[in-house]
Amino acid sequence: MVENTIDCATACVNGCVLGDNCPNLEYEEQSAKFIEETSLDRMLEIAEERLRKKMTEPPKWVYPEE
């Protein structure tokens, strides 16, 4: 098995560069099914719910290492 040594979020913007060796192929079927079965209005509702939840969460403080 080939180890994923690239950052898929940046390298695969225009499509997967690893082809059949992509470690994320298992999620392709799930995402295609979600896109096919979910209306755009429902996707927007999901995004709005998540944004509303994130905006109401208390801030998370990040302390620099000293």
- Residue 44 confidence (pLDDT): 97
Looking at the chain, the whole-number percentage of residues with pLDDT higher than 70 is 92
Instruction: Look at residue 2 and tell me whether its pLDDT is greater than 50.
Output: no
Q: In Å, what is the CA distance from 17 to each residue of 13, 20, 27, 36, 40? A: 9, 9, 16, 24, 28
33 lies in some domain = yes
Give how many domains the chain has, as a whole number: 1
47 lies in some domain = yes
28 lies in some domain = yes
- Residue 59 confidence (pLDDT): 86
- Residue 66 confidence (pLDDT): 67
34 lies in some domain = yes
Q: How does residue 22 score in pLDDT terms, banded at 50, 70 and 90?
A: confident
Q: What pTM was computed for the model?
A: 0.55
42 lies in some domain = yes
Which residues does 18 contact at the CB level (< 8 Å), separation at least 6? Answer: 2, 4, 6, 12
Which residue range forms the structural domain that includes residue 39?
A: 8-56
